[in-house]
Amino acid sequence: MICIALYAPSSPQRLVDAARAIFGSGIVDLLVVIKPVGMAAQVGLAEVSKVAYKRGKNLVILSQLSEVRDVLNLNKVFILVHDSDAKLLREAVGAVNQGDRLCVVIQGSEVSIPKAELVQAEPVRHSLPEIGVNPVADVALVLYELRSLAPRT
């Protein structure tokens, strides 16, 4: 199982756009929204819930990053960072065993993830670290890299 988690999204439009990309990817089984704030919590979650229901996809909303591993019974949790010293996502996911349950956490807004939460996951980066912090772009790049690792049928 592969899931993508958006941490602290604040924009309802970005949340909906990211959810549509995730649900349309065909490789992600679950979208997790962690600590949504502002209009994303008030308006965006309702819209994402509708999109998930219409597409027959799974959505989980959690209040903190530490719950991801416990609630979803995951083997591996990665967190996307924009740091050239972090391991490449492609390498980290490639080392995961077939059948393992994993999640990639993506920052959902400009708000930094607290250091206490960062230790809950292994930091990784995508192959274009110079791309700025934009949750929808990060989702697209993560989906591209995950798809490149998926077995061809």
**Ordered DSSP codes for 68-97:** HHHHHT-SEEEEE---TTSEEHHHHHHTSP
Three-state SS annotation for 121-135: CEEEECCCCCCCCCH
Strands 87-88 and 58-62: unpaired
Contact 3, 119 (CB under 8 A): no
pLDDT value, residue 94: 84
pLDDT value, residue 127: 83
Whole-model pTM over 0.75:
yes
pLDDT value, residue 31: 98
1 assigned to some structural domain: no
Distance CA 78, CA 135 (A): 15
79 assigned to some structural domain: yes
Q: Give the angle subtended at the CA of 28 by the CAs of 96 and 149, to the nearest 5°.
A: 45
| Structural domain range at position 70 | 14-113+120-147
3-state secondary structure of 36: coil
Q: Residue 31 is part of a domain; what is its CATH number?
A: 3.40.1280.10
32 assigned to some structural domain: yes
Question: Running along the chain, 153 residues long, what does each successive block of 10 average in pLDDT?
Answer: 96 97 94 96 96 96 94 94 89 85 93 85 85 84 88 47
pLDDT value, residue 152: 43
138 assigned to some structural domain: yes
77 assigned to some structural domain: yes
Split into its structural domains, the chain has a count of: 1
7 assigned to some structural domain: no
Tracing tokens 């309702």 back to the chain, one arrives at: 46
- pLDDT, tens digit, for every residue of 76-99? 999 999 888 899 999 998 888 888
132 assigned to some structural domain: yes
